[in-house]
Amino acid sequence: MSNPIHETNTDFETRSLDAVCVNSSELVHPWWFNLKYLATGLLFGIILTKAEVISWFRIQEMFRLQSFHMFGVIGSAVAVGAFSVYIIKKFDIRTIYGEKIDLHDRPFNKGQIIGGLMFGFGWAMTGACPGPLFAQIGTGATVVVATLFSAIAGTWVYGLVREKLPH
């Protein structure tokens, strides 16, 4: 990295470790700039809910191959996402602030297998991946707050034992 900011930002390694959604922006904005992510999240939550991908029933249908719906949603989302990323890379499209868009590689590690299977189990049990957990609570299924806290606890315990786990 030629940008000196990257070299002094030693915190970045810890932050980006095992996290896909890192903040790649080096710009510092006042807090209320984050309201646009609140608005984007609102939109995302509405789409997830109206597509019923937050429904325990839809998840059961997916894993029993009884419905194409979930596969259609994920498949077409990836198609549109991949095409967008291709266009962004090909034409070197910048952010609205003129920053270069920064995408991180996700190389293989064993955690993707073991952790992936564990998450798959949890997904079929709760009918929710992390995004839908929040949306489910919003729709009034208040008991999902307990599931969310348990998921936070799971993340915490992972942090506690991660040095001992194969990666």
Partner 1 sequence: MPEWLQKPWPWYVAGPLIGLMVPFLLLIGNKTLGISSSLRHFCAACLPAKIPFFHYDWKKESWNLFFVTGVLGGGFLAATFLGNPEPIVVHEKLLTELQGYGITDHSNLMPMELFNWPALATLKGFILMIVGGFLVGFGTRYAGGCTSGHSIMGLSNLQLGSLVATICFMTGGFIMANLILPFILQL
Residue count of the chain, please give it: 167
- Amino acid residing at 138: G
Alpha-carbon distance of 57 to 63, in angstroms, equals 10
Give the residue with the Cβ less far from partner 1, 3 or 33: 33
Find the binder of partner 1 among 2, 76, 91, 92 (CB under 8 A): 76
Q: Contacts with partner 1 in 125-164 (CB under 8 A)?
A: 125-131, 133-144, 146-160, 162
| Chain position carrying tokens 């910048």 | 94
DSSP state of 94: B
Alpha-carbon distance of 50 to 144, in angstroms, equals 18
Min. distance of Cβ 166 from partner 1 in angstroms?
Answer: 10
Min. distance of Cβ 2 from partner 1 in angstroms?
Answer: 18
Per CB under 8 A, does 91 bind partner 1?
no
Q: Contacts with partner 1 in 28-57 (CB under 8 A)?
A: 31, 33-57
